[in-house]
Amino acid sequence: MMVRTIGASRSARPWPLAMDQAVAWSLVASLLLLSACASVSPSSGTLTAGQPATPFEQQQLVQARAQAAQGHLAEAATHWEVLSVLRPNEPSYARQLAQVRAQIEREASTELAAARAARQRGAIDEASQHDLAVLALQPDNEAAADALRAIEREHNKREHLGRYARVTLGSRSNKDSLQTGGQAATALSAQRNDLEHAALLAGQGEFDDAISLLNQRLKARPQDAAAKEQLADIYFAQAEALAPRDKEGAIAALRKCLQLQPRYAAARSRLAQLTAKP
C-alpha cells in the first residue's frame, strides 16, 4: 500500500515550499538579529540575554524553519522545543512552537475525520493512509493507532476466510473425481486453517474470538487432541494477560486450561501463585 507524503497537500503553511534559498537565509539572519542576545548560563545550561546565538542555536533555527517549510510539522516542533528550552525567555521561539503545535492539532483532526469518513464508505486503504498521516503528525495518537490495528485484524480475518473458501469451493468442484481421498484432504486443510486462525487471533490479543473458534471445532470433534491442546495454551495466555488487572478472570482462565490439560505444569504453578493467601 502506497502512503502519500505527509504535508504534500497542505493548504496552509507558515512558509511557501518554493521559498528561495536567499530569502530563507535572510529570514534566518533576521531572526538571529532579533534574538542575538544570549549567553550560556553556567547553572542551568540555558541561554540568557547578553551574547549572540551559538552555532548550535543557529543550526536548530535553520532546521526548524526548513522542516516547517517542507510540511514536516512534527520535526519542526521538535526543533522549536529545543530552542524554547535553550532560550526560555525568547518570545519568538515560544510563539513559533505554539503555532506549529496548533497546526499539528488542526491537521491531525482533519486527517482523523477523513479516516472515519473513508471507513464509513468502505475505503479501507484510504482510511489507512489518513491514519498514517495522523501518526506522522502525532506518533502517540491512540485513535489512529487503534484504527490501524483494527484494520489489520480485519484484513487477517478476511485472508483466513478467503483461504477457507477456496479450499471449500475446490473440494465441491472436484468432488466427483476426488471422492473420499479428496474430501479427507479438504477436511484436514480446513482443520489446520482453524488452528492457524485461532493462533493468529490469540497472538493479536483476541482471546475470546480464538476460544470461540476452537470451542466450535471441539463441539463438532470432541476428541480433537490438537484443538484441546491449543485451547489450553490460549486459556493460559489469556490468564497471563488478565492477571495484572483482573485476578479473578485470570484464575477462571487457568482453571479452564487445567480442565483441558490437567498436567499443564505452568498453569498449575500460576494458579497456585494467584490463589495463595497473602
The DSSP annotation for 233-272 comes to: HHHHHHHHHHTTT-HHHHHHHHHHHHHH-TT-HHHHHHHH
Mean pLDDT score, 178-189? 43
pLDDT 10s digits, 90-143: 888 889 899 989 988 998 899 999 999 988 888 888 888 898 888 888 888 888
Mean pLDDT score, 58-72? 86
- Asked if residue 1 has pLDDT above 90, the reply is no
CATH fold of 142-275, please? 1.25.40
The DSSP annotation for 23-38 comes to: HHHHHHHHHHHHH---
Q: How confident is the model at residue 51 (pLDDT cuts 50, 70, 90)?
A: low
Helices of type H across the chain: 21-35, 55-69, 73-86, 91-121, 124-137, 142-173, 175-203, 207-220, 225-242, 247-260, 265-275
Task: State the Cα–Cα distance between residues 184 and 189, nearest whole angstrom.
Answer: 9
Selection from 57-61, 73-77, 123-127, 264-268 with the highest mean pLDDT: 264-268
Cell of 220: 463438532
Mean pLDDT score, 220-230? 90
Containing H/E element for 51?
none
Q: How confident is the model at residue 48 (pLDDT cuts 50, 70, 90)?
A: low
Which range (96-110, 148-162, 240-254) has the least confidence? 148-162
- Cβ atoms 235, 211 nearer than 8 A: yes
Query: CATH 1.25.40 in the chain, residues?
Result: 142-275
Beta-ladder partners of 39: 48
Which range (50-64, 134-148, 199-213) has the least confidence? 50-64
- Asked if residue 166 has pLDDT above 60, the reply is no
Mean pLDDT score, 219-237? 91
Which range (91-95, 149-153, 170-174) has the least confidence? 170-174
Average pLDDT, the chain: 74
End-to-end CA distance of the chain: 53
| Most distant pair of Cα atoms in the chain: their distance | 93
What dihedral do alpha carbons 73, 75, 77, 81 form, nearest 10°? 180
Task: State the Cα–Cα distance between residues 92 and 157, nearest whole angstrom.
Answer: 52
Task: State the Cα–Cα distance between residues 234 and 226, nearest whole angstrom.
Answer: 12
pLDDT 10s digits, 15-39: 333 334 443 444 444 444 444 433 3
- For the chain, give the number of residues: 278
What lies within 8 Å, CB to CB, of 16 at 6+ separation is: 69
**Predicted pLDDT of residue 157:** 62
